[in-house]
Amino acid sequence: MSTRRAEPQTATELGIAEQVAVYQREFPTVDPQVETIVSTLSRLARRMNVAYGRQLATLGITSAEWEVLKALVFAGAPYRLGPGELAKRLGLTPAAMTHRIDRMVTEGLVTRDRDEANRVRVIIELTAEGRDKWLELMRMAAVFEADLLQDVAGETRPELAAALTRMLRRIEETQPDALGRTDDLTC
C-alpha cells in the first residue's frame, strides 16, 4: 500500500464568505452581516495600503516621506513648519523627524533653513519638486479611488462617507489607545 503525500499548498487567504462561515461554525451567535462588513473593511484597508505603497514606489518616495509632504501641504502656503511641529503632527520623536528630514533634504523634497525672524528656529519648507511629487501622487490616487468607488452611486456616496465617519469616530472614542483624532472629521 502506497501512501500518497499531499502537495504542499501555498498559504492563501480565505474568501470573506469562507471566513465568516468559520466564525459562525466556531462562534454560532456571531452576526454574519456584521462580520462580513468588518472583515471586508479590514481587508479593503490592507489592499488599499498596498496599492498606495506601489504608487509611492513608482514616484520614488516612501510612505514616511509622503506623510511629511502631506503635513506640509496641510499647513497651507507657503508649506512651512518647524521640525518640532512636524514631529508632533506625525507622532514622531524629534530624532526620528530629523532623520526623515535629512533624507528628504538630500532628495530635494524639502529645504531646511533658519527662520530669518528668529535665527534659532529652523523651518522645513516644501520644494517645488516635493509639491510636484505630492500632486502626482494625488492624481494617481484619484484615478485609483474613482475606480475603487465605481460601484457606489454618486447619490449614495455621502451616506457611505457619513456611515464610515461615524464608525471611525466610534472606534476613536471607545479605543483611546488607537491614537485617533475626530476633530478633523466633518461628518
Domains and CATH numbers, the chain: 17-59 (no CATH), 61-145 (1.10.10.10)
Phi and psi, residue 186, nearest 5°:
-105, -15
Say what the pLDDT of residue 6 is: 43
Say what the pLDDT of residue 186 is: 55
Tally of helices (H runs) and strands (E runs) in the chain:
7, 3
Say what the pLDDT of residue 3 is: 47
Give 175: exposed, middle or buried? Use CB within 10 Å, 0-12, 13-18, 19+.
exposed
Say what the pLDDT of residue 119 is: 78
* Strand blocks (E) in the chain: 80-81, 110-114, 122-126
Say what the pLDDT of residue 70 is: 96
The residues pairing with 114 across neighbouring beta strands, listed in sequence order, are 122
Say what the pLDDT of residue 136 is: 96
Give 97: exposed, middle or buried? Use CB within 10 Å, 0-12, 13-18, 19+.
buried
Unique residue bearing C-alpha cell 497651507: 76
Say what the pLDDT of residue 18 is: 95
> Of 118, 117, 123, whose CA–CA distance to 75 is shortest?
123
Predicted TM-score (pTM) of the model is: 0.78
Per-position pLDDT tens, the chain of length 187: 444 444 444 568 899 999 999 999 999 999 999 999 999 999 999 999 999 999 999 999 999 999 999 999 999 999 999 999 999 999 899 999 999 999 999 999 999 998 888 878 899 999 999 999 999 999 999 999 999 999 999 899 999 999 999 999 998 889 877 654 445 555 5
Cβ 130 vs Cβ 110: under 8 Å: yes
Say what the pLDDT of residue 184 is: 52
Distance CA 158, CA 103 (A): 39
Say what the pLDDT of residue 29 is: 96
